[in-house]
């Protein structure tokens, strides 16, 4: 009988044998040990790469030509990889799960909004260290169209830093400085699309057929109309539909996002090869975590939603294999803001070992609005656990909108109608719901589907903006506690907590974007304020709001870093018996309780005894106080406790 697997193995081995003579000359300048390491990694990962590329491109008559091109390019990128990064490669191979440590704490910011430029940002590293960050995501900083550029997510060159921010050498030296201080650099790989000013797009616009084949182009509306029957509109308010007409060439171009963001055509192996080199270029700059932007959209198939298709996974897995061969210090993080099942489908050691956790994020806000943790608890019980070698990035806010991407079936299981619930949440966070504390803005309301997302800084969504305006001190207190409550969860739940910089100081919405015509229509800019130095200057004074938030968060981070039980791994969500209180246990050692209501709540003894077993008392890692459990644990409004249950008396 014909055995598929062993046939594939043989083909892979044969192909590698034939390709080696083309690869070794590229490595000729390297010393023997270095060359040996590359060959060893190639041996380990080529069979997988071969299988994936064969599945993707095996029907092309020139498949072997492309395979050779890809491997030779990878070898060339390896030969160019700086020695310090190769040393890091070896270090990370010896400690492959480094990103699961309790020491990992992330921050994310825009270079221009945070500091103005790369050299200016390099001066601010002590600020990151003060907060305790060991992971820094700098949002897109490469060349991009001057006015409308989707906050840098429309990239015109993956190799040239935006001249307004500095040079590629500035970036390289910043990466080195971060590494010396124990901070991992995170950059985006915006690989679903390029800007229409990218060289490839410009050549396509000039009529070059080779580069037109880098994108999805159509002579008339016949196919676009057929595709669109099944496609989701991502930015319906700014650019409805998924295609853009370009009169220069008389063609319709596939543009899932904005009209100037052209989707790359990964069915073309030349695109895969070109982008693999851009990916390895980023790795060679010193990127340790690569954020794969918009992973869901990279493969299109007529009659489908063109999201989360199997080939999208194969492309990412093939990139993963190449990175493991030529830059193993770098790991992938997936950015998929989709149904939780689809989010999970990207998370695998051989695909993206790290992933944003949008389900936790949006359900944290859901629980704040409802003051109930039922849906949060229920979904997390089902969905929080990951393969042993993977990790969530848990976050409260990011530079994007909040989409209510929780699973309708999770909601239905506890008697909630997802559609209605989203309408409530949108009303709540735009402040229309009576009694709402939130000051969010609508983002991309779609009248056809009634879909809508929410923009806003954490502090404004949590009620601080409104409370400050009303001068209401009790409401201010509640707002501050809400901000801290959400952050206490991302810091203690496992994975990598990611702080959206500005939130550590309680920064409010910034409405000035409305005066900028290139931004006015995109409400996400309300939560992308310039870093406020005056606010930061108050961070040491715990009597100010900024100081209270900053110092508390800093302390939570410090405790996390000192508590191995808060590293990634086992997180067991349990029903606290009180619908307002979230509960989970970390590594059977730390029991977390979090009160999502502005009233005192109790969790009764019987409920806790099943987890807490015999002893009578526990120590709260945050306050150092002993908490008795004679009748119940009493929680103040929005209080959270991290009880060390390993240390019972």
Nearer to ligand OTU, 363 or 480 (CB): 363
Q: How far is the CB of 152 from ligand OTU (least distance, A)?
A: 8
Task: Quote the CA–CA distance of 56 and 42 in Å, as a whole number.
Answer: 20
372 is annotated as an active-site residue: no
DSSP H or E stretch at residue 64: helix 63-79
> CA-CA distance, 298 to 448, in Å (whole number)?
25
Nearest Cα to 179, choosing from 97, 122, 110? 122
For residues 134 and 144, which CB has a smaller minimum distance to ligand OTU in the complex? 144
Residues that bind ligand OTU (CB under 6 A): 150-151, 153, 190, 234, 257, 293-294, 296, 335-338, 399-401
Helix axes 63-79, 310-326, angle to 10 degrees: 40
* Catalytic annotation, pick one of 89, 335, 351, 598: 335
CB of 490 to ligand OTU, least distance (A): 18
How wide is the angle at C-alpha 579 spanned by C-alphas 493 and 367, nearest 5°?
A: 55
Q: How far is CA 250 from the centre of its chain?
A: 37
- Indicate the residue among 295 and 479 with the shorter CB distance to ligand OTU: 295
Active site residue 219: no
Report strand pairing: 391-395 vs 354-356.
parallel
Per annotation, catalytic residue among 102, 196, 288, 293: 293
The residues with which 218 forms a beta bridge, in sequence order, are: 252
State in angstroms the smallest separation of the CB of 156 from ligand OTU.
Answer: 14
Distance between CA atoms of 368 and 334, rounded to whole angstroms? 26
Give the nearest distance from C-beta 168 to ligand OTU in angstroms.
21
> Least Å distance between CB 336 and ligand OTU?
6
- How many CB atoms are closer than 10 A to CB 9? 14
294 or 468, CB closer to ligand OTU?
294
> Minimum distance from CB of 403 to ligand OTU (Å)?
7
Please report the sign of the dihedral spanned by the C-alpha atoms of residue 345, residue 347, residue 352, residue 358.
positive
Distance CA 462, CA 454 (A): 13
For the residues of 197-261, what is the DSSP string, one character each?
TSHHHHHHHTT-HHHHTTB-EESSSHHHHHHHTTPPPSSTTTS-SSEEEETTTTEEEE-SSSTTE
Q: Quick one: 57 or 262, whose CB is closer to ligand OTU?
A: 262
Which CB, 42 or 296, lies closer to ligand OTU? 296
Q: Any idea which residue has 């070109």 for tokens? A: 274
46 or 227: CB nearest ligand OTU: 227
The residue among 25, 28, 126, 18 whose CA lies nearest residue 67 is 18
Greatest alpha-carbon pair distance for the chain in Å reads: 79
| Catalytic machinery residues | 293, 335
């Amino acid at each position: 009988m014909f055995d598929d697997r062993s046939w594939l193995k043989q083909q892979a081995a044969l192909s590698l044998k034939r390709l080696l003579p083309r690869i070794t000359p590229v490595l000729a300048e390297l010393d023997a040990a270095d060359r040996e390491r590359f060959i060893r990694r190639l041996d380990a990962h080529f069979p997988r790469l071969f299988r994936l590329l064969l599945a993707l491109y095996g029907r092309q008559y020139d498949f072997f030509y492309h395979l050779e091109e890809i491997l030779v390019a990878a070898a060339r990128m390896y030969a160019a990889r700086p020695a310090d990064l190769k040393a890091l490669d070896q270090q990370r191979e010896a400690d492959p799960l480094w990103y699961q440590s309790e020491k990992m704490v992330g921050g994310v910011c825009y270079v221009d909004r945070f500091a103005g430029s790369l050299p200016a940002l390099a001066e601010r590293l002590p600020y990151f260290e003060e907060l305790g960050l060991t992971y820094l995501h700098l949002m897109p900083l490469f060349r991009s169209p001057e006015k409308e550029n989707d906050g840098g997510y429309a990239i015109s060159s993956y190799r040239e830093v935006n001249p307004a921010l500095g040079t590629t050498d500035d970036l390289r030296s910043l990466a080195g400085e971060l590494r010396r201080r124990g901070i991992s650099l995170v950059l985006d790989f915006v690989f679903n699309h390029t800007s229409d000013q990218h060289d490839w797009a410009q050549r396509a616009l000039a009529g070059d057929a080779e580069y037109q084949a880098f994108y999805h182009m159509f002579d008339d509306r016949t196919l676009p109309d057929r595709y669109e029957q099944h496609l989701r509109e991502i930015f319906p308010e700014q650019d409805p539909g998924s295609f853009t007409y370009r009169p220069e060439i008389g063609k319709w171009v596939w543009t899932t996002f904005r009209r100037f963001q052209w989707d790359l055509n990964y069915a073309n192996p030349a695109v895969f090869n070109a982008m693999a080199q851009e990916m390895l270029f980023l790795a060679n700059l010193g990127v340790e975590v690569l954020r794969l932007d918009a992973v869901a959209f990279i493969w299109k198939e007529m009659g489908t939603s063109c999201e989360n298709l199997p080939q999208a996974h194969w492309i990412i897995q093939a990139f993963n294999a190449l990175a493991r061969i030529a830059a193993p210090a770098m790991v992938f993080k997936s950015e998929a803001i989709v149904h939780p099942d689809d989010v999970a489908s990207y998370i695998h050691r051989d695909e993206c070992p790290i992933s944003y956790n949008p389900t936790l994020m949006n359900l944290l806000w859901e629980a704040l609005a409802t003051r109930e943790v039922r849906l949060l608890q229920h979904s997390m019980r089902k969905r929080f656990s990951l393969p042993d070698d993977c990790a969530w990035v848990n976050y409260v806010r990011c530079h994007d909108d909040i989409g209510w991407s929780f699973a309708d079936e999770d909601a239905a299981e506890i008697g909630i109608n997802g559609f209605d619930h989203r309408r409530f949440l949108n009303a709540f966070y735009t402040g229309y719901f009576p009694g709402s504390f939130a000051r969010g803005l609508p983002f991309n309301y779609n009248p056809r589907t009634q879909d809508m997302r929410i923009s806003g800084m954490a502090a404004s969504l949590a009620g601080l903006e409104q409370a400050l305006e009303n001068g209401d001190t009790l409401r201010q207190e509640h707002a501050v506690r809400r901000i801290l409550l959400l952050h206490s969860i991302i810091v203690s739940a496992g994975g990598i907590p990611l702080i959206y910089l500005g939130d550590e100081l309680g920064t409010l919405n910034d409405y000035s974007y409305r005066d900028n015509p290139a931004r006015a229509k995109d409400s996400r800019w309300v939560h992308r304020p310039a870093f406020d130095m005056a606010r930061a200057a108050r961070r040491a004074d715990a009597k100010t709001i900024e100081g209270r938030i900053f110092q508390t968060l800093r302390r939570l981070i410090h405790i996390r870093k000192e508590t191995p039980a808060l590293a990634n791994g086992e997180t067991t969500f349990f029903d606290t018996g009180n619908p307002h209180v979230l509960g989970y246990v970390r590594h059977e050692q730390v029991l977390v309780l979090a009160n999502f209501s502005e009233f005192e709540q109790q969790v009764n003894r019987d409920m806790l005894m099943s987890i807490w077993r015999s002893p009578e008392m526990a120590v709260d890692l945050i306050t150092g106080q002993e908490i008795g459990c004679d009748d119940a644990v009493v929680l103040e409004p929005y209080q959270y406790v991290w009880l060390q249950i390993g240390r019972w008396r």
